[in-house]
Amino acid sequence: MATNAAPHLAAAFRDQPVLITGGLGFIGSNLARRLADLGARVTAIDSLIPEYGGKRFNLAGYEERVRINIADVRDEYSMDHLVRGQAFIFNLAGQVSHLDSMHNPYTDLDINCRSQLSILEACRKHNPSVRLVYSGTRQIYGRPRYLPVDEQHPVDPVDVNGVNKVAGEWYHIVYQRAYGLRATSLRLTNTYGPRMRVVDARQTFLGIWLRRLLQGDEILVFGDGRQRRDFTYVDDAVEALLRAATCEAAVGAIYNLGGEEVISLQALAELLIELQGSGRYRLVPFPAEQKAIDIGDYFGSYARAKADLGWQPRVGLREGLTHTLAYYAAHGHEYWP
């Protein structure tokens, strides 16, 4: 399913060399497919570390249209080679699990900070004119002080992952200001859709909810279920990445993404069950380690992205969830044992 594309995107990316870090992961693979359809010459880098969601199946049908390079972005020698000659780099590689970052903070530091410097240093030395888009996260805001959250909201992360994602983002902004690298950051929020990690909750709680629903198990909703969220369908997130990469006004800028609809977690569970036509959920107390880093209500303002990029979400929550459920009903055996 494709969103309404800006008409200039095909011209901007046709026959252009594009590098995607984390290119076999959830958002990276959807982006790679879209870019290949636009005529770009795409290279997808991924380490295929099992916990981080990269899968070769995510590019099924595109194996001849996307070059796959199995490499770790922390390897500066590989990055020195891979960034050369690229017109665009979409920097999506990272460790996204909040709990993993608390259990293994040094690994999170290595992946979300050192790897970003490896990429930026390679660009500074070998491709300083490249257009670079970084995927940040709304998690850096922590517990909202007001809603909707805009880009002026204080940064106040509640976990190690949030701290390191702040650093990764600001490395890009500092390199833009100090060295002229043409970098932009998007702060993504609750992105969902086909090819996301559903075997566990490392990438998003919605993934494990979908798996449990499709396997006939209860959806477990932590707390009272009243926590509100907004969601971005992956095609809309891809559209934002492409627009950011082709907008000169976005160089050096930071943008929130988000969704049109705000929904409580209890209502979300009920909607999933309605769309599936079966299932059940149960409210359960927060596990202590989850409660310590829960942010409560969150929904964001994407007004700046709308003004500068002409971006706004096109895929409603009901439509996006319907497509996502259908994808995993067909291909779930590729994503869980």
At 170-209, the pLDDT tens digits run 999 999 999 999 999 999 999 999 999 998 867 689 999 9
First to last CA, the chain: 27
Among 90-94, 177-181, 300-304, which is the least confidently predicted range?
90-94
The answer to whether 307 and 253 have CB atoms below 8 angstroms apart is no
Name the nearest CA neighbour of 11 among 80, 125, 87: 87
Q: pTM here? A: 0.95
The answer to whether 159 and 244 have CB atoms below 8 angstroms apart is no
**What gap in Å lies between CA 296 and CA 304, rounded to an integer?**
24
User: For a pLDDT cut of 90, what percent of the chain falls above it?
Assistant: 81
- Strands 131-137 and 191-192 turn out to be unpaired
CA 230 to each of CA 212, 261, 316: distance values in angstroms, whole numbers, following the listed order: 21, 6, 11
The answer to whether 322 and 275 have CB atoms below 8 angstroms apart is yes
Question: Phi-psi bin for 85: left (phi > 0), alpha (psi -120 to 50), beta?
Answer: left
DSSP annotation of 250 reads: G
Q: Which strand (E) or helix (H) includes residue 185? A: strand 182-188
Average pLDDT over residues 134-160: 95
Average pLDDT over residues 120-129: 97
Q: Report residue 103's pLDDT band, with 50, 70 and 90 as the boundaries.
A: confident
pLDDT above 90: residue 79: yes
Average pLDDT over residues 2-29: 87
Q: Which structure tokens are listed for 321? A: 């969830």
User: Mean pLDDT in the chain?
Assistant: 93
Q: Report residue 2's pLDDT band, with 50, 70 and 90 as the boundaries.
A: very low
pLDDT above 80: residue 100: no
Average pLDDT over residues 141-161: 95
Average pLDDT over residues 287-304: 88
For residue 6, the model assigns a pLDDT of: 64
Burial class (CB in 10 A: 0-12, 13-18, 19+), 322: middle
Largest CA distance in the chain: 55
Q: Which residue has the tokens 């380690």?
A: 289
Q: Which domains does the chain show, CATH number per domain?
A: 9-192+232-260+300-314 (3.40.50.720)
> 3-class DSSP state for residue 253?
coil
Average pLDDT over residues 151-165: 93
Exposed e or buried b per residue across 230-255, where buried means at least 16 C-beta atoms within 10 angstroms of its C-beta: bbbbbbbbbbbbbbbbbbeebeebbb
Q: Report residue 149's pLDDT band, with 50, 70 and 90 as the boundaries.
A: very high
The predicted-structure confidence for 30-66, as pLDDT tens digits, reads as follows: 999 999 999 999 999 998 887 777 899 999 999 999 9
Sign (positive/negative) of CA torsion 262, 143, 96, 77?
A: positive
The answer to whether 154 and 140 have CB atoms below 8 angstroms apart is no
SS3 of the chain: helix, strand, coil, percent, to 5 = 45, 15, 40
**What gap in Å lies between CA 174 and CA 170, rounded to an integer?**
6
Question: Phi-psi bin for 198: left (phi > 0), alpha (psi -120 to 50), beta?
Answer: alpha
For residue 7, the model assigns a pLDDT of: 67
**What gap in Å lies between CA 222 and CA 244, rounded to an integer?**
35
For residue 5, the model assigns a pLDDT of: 52
For residue 94, the model assigns a pLDDT of: 82
